[in-house]
Structure 1
Amino acid sequence: MRIGQQVARFTWPGSPGSIGPTFASMARWSEAAGVESLWVMDHFWQIAQIGPPEEEMLEAYTTLGFAAGVTSRIELGAMVTAATVRNPALLVKTVTTLDVLSGGRAWLGIGAAWFEEENRGYGLDFPPTAERFVRLEDTLRLSRQMWSGDDSPFVGEGFTAPRPLNVPQPVRTPPILIGGVGERKTLRYVAKYADATNIFDGGPDFVAQKLGVLRQHCEAEGRDYDEIRKTVLTRISLSERSGEKVASGEETMSLEQAVDKLGSLAEVGVDTAIIGMGNDTDQGTYDLLAQLVEHVASL
């Protein structure tokens, strides 16, 4: 099993001046710990599951570009971009730019969008569900075209681009990760277009059920299920002692408990755990994270 890290909060003492130096340190510590990938949310407001909307939040791709500049190996992506908030061709160009400047480390993490209040607050359209999925599929199709070097006119179901020229091409064609658990469309799009799926951690039984649906879609699409990386987004605040409270209000987990938790996910087919940590600004946490990376490598 491989480990990624998601940073979902930027509310730190000394903000806003402290945000850049703190996040740069976290990115370096994560890379030094052997973490494979670093992810940030693509939101403009904080989400209710983590804090009030007035909490600090950074624009995702500027943040990932900054992370690219202070690291050299760790892969970089948004967990996940809302298909509704950016012109699809501009989004592909943005991810291409991140890939070129990072030396081939970018991912396209994408989903159909859900945070209506945030969109409305920024004056962005938030179409009905069916239209959002049309936009998602158009973006997935267009990314394939632009990353193949084809600048012929693109005509999608809801979006057109007369000349989607993309020069330079990426160093590495960015892998596509689709986030979400919708069984009728989201997981079908994973089977049809994506390199990875991301499922939130609802427990091993929940994850196993969703992966079973994905397998069925792969069979219907003629796709090799084993080609698709199975990732889960989860929360683990590591500490030498379990049960301690961190600033986010979460309780800490020992290394042994974390290995057991991830082992149960590996048993149902998960190969990558992307973890958020409530104590991710504590440098000592990354020593334990390095041990976790080593312990789960053979799962």
Structure 2
Amino acid sequence: MRIGQQVSRFTWPGSPASIGPTFASIARWSEAAGSESLWVMDHFWQIAQIGPPEEEMLEAYTTLGFAAGVTSRLELGAMVTAATVRNPALLVKTVTTLDVLSGGRAWLGIGAAWFEEENRGYGLDFPTTAERFVRLEDTLRLAKQMWAGDDSPFEGEGFTAPRPLNVPQPVRTPPILIGGVGERKTLRFVAKYADATNIFDGGPEFVAQKLGVLREHCDAEGRDYDSIRKTVLTRISLSERSGEKVPSGEEAMSVDQALDKVGALAAVGVDTAIIGMGNDTDEAAYELLGQLVEHAASI
């Protein structure tokens, strides 16, 4: 079991001046603890599951570029990019740029988008569900083409690009992770296009059921199910004092409790836990994160 970290909240004392230094510390601490990856949300407003829309939120790819500059090993991605927000060719160019400047550490995390109010607030179109999935599939197809060095005209179902030139090419072709649990389209797109799936932590039985659907889509597509990384986005706040309240209001876990949690996910086929920490600004938590990373590696 591999461990990554997601940062989904930037509401810290002394903002906005404190945001850059605090986030830089989180990235460095996470890397030193042995985290495999660091992820941020692709939102312009805070989401209701975490806080009010007026909370501080940063643009994802600028933030990932900043993280690349203060780390040397962490893999970097958006959990997950809204396919509707950016021109697909420009998105592929953006991820390529992150990969080049980070020395081959970028991921394309992507999904069909869901936060309509945020889009409307920014004056962005928010297409129908069917149209959003058309844009998602067009983007996935175009990414494959551009990262193959093919600048011939692209004709998608809803998007065209007369010459999607992508120079320089990435240092490493960015792996594609699709986030979401939709059984008819999202998981089918994982089987057809992606290197990884991300499922939110609805508990081991929920995750197992979704992975079973993914396996069926892999069989239908002729795809090797085992070639796809299975990641779960979950919440784990680590503390020496199990049960204490952390700044987010969540209860902290011991390392042993966290190992039980990720072990239950591993038992149903998950190979990577990407954790959000409600005390991610507490440097002491990263010593415990290092222990979790070390012990989880043997699960």
Equivalent residue, structure 2, for 1:123? 123
If the length of structure 2 is used for normalisation, what is the TM-score? 1.00
- Counterpart-to-counterpart distance in 2, 1:3 and 1:204: 17
Deviation of the 1:289 alpha carbon = 0.2
- Counterpart-to-counterpart distance in 1, 2:210 and 2:298: 24
SS of aligned partner of 1:14? coil
Give the aligned CA root-mean-square deviation in angstroms.
0.3
Q: Which runs of 5+ in 2 are unaligned?
A: none
1:137-148 matches, within 5 Å, as 137-148=137-148
Per-residue CA distance 1:203-247 (angstroms, 9 max, x = gap):
000000000000000000000000000000000000011111011
Equivalent residue, structure 2, for 1:225? 225
**Most deviating of 238-247 and 219-228:** 238-247
Matched letter for residue 22 of structure 1: T
Matched letter for residue 80 of structure 1: V
Deviation of the 1:284 alpha carbon = 0.4
If the length of structure 1 is used for normalisation, what is the TM-score? 1.00
- Counterpart-to-counterpart distance in 1, 2:271 and 2:263: 10
Matched letter for residue 40 of structure 1: V
Equivalent residue, structure 2, for 1:75? 75
Equivalent residue, structure 2, for 1:103? 103
SS of aligned partner of 2:4? strand
Matched letter for residue 128 of structure 1: T
Equivalent residue, structure 1, for 2:6? 6
Number of residue pairs matched by the alignment: 299
Matched letter for residue 109 of structure 1: G
SS of aligned partner of 1:256? helix
Equivalent residue, structure 2, for 1:55? 55
Equivalent residue, structure 1, for 2:235? 235
Matched letter for residue 90 of structure 1: L
SS of aligned partner of 1:98? helix
Please tell me whether residue 288 in structure 1 is matched to residue 288 in structure 2: yes
Question: What stretches of structure 1 move > 2 A for 4+ residues in a row?
Answer: none
Deviation of the 1:108 alpha carbon = 0.1
Deviation of the 1:298 alpha carbon = 1.0
Deviation of the 1:21 alpha carbon = 0.3
- Counterpart-to-counterpart distance in 2, 1:267 and 1:99: 32
SS of aligned partner of 1:234? strand
- Counterpart-to-counterpart distance in 2, 1:242 and 1:186: 37
Please tell me whether residue 170 in structure 1 is matched to residue 170 in structure 2: yes
Q: Which runs of 5+ in 1 are unaligned?
A: none
Equivalent residue, structure 2, for 1:214? 214
- Counterpart-to-counterpart distance in 1, 2:298 and 2:214: 24
Matched letter for residue 179 of structure 1: G
Per-residue CA distance 1:46-90 (angstroms, 9 max, x = gap):
000000000000000000000000000000000000000000000
SS of aligned partner of 1:178? strand
- Counterpart-to-counterpart distance in 1, 2:191 and 2:145: 18
- Counterpart-to-counterpart distance in 1, 2:5 and 2:247: 18
SS of aligned partner of 1:15? coil
Equivalent residue, structure 1, for 2:189? 189
1:34-45 matches, within 5 Å, as 34-45=34-45
Equivalent residue, structure 2, for 1:203? 203
Equivalent residue, structure 2, for 1:261? 261
Matched letter for residue 101 of structure 1: L
- Counterpart-to-counterpart distance in 1, 2:251 and 2:179: 26
Of all paired residues, the percent bearing the same amino acid is 90
Deviation of the 1:169 alpha carbon = 0.1
- Counterpart-to-counterpart distance in 2, 1:116 and 1:167: 33
Matched letter for residue 162 of structure 1: P
Equivalent residue, structure 2, for 1:252? 252
Equivalent residue, structure 1, for 2:136? 136
- Counterpart-to-counterpart distance in 1, 2:60 and 2:44: 8
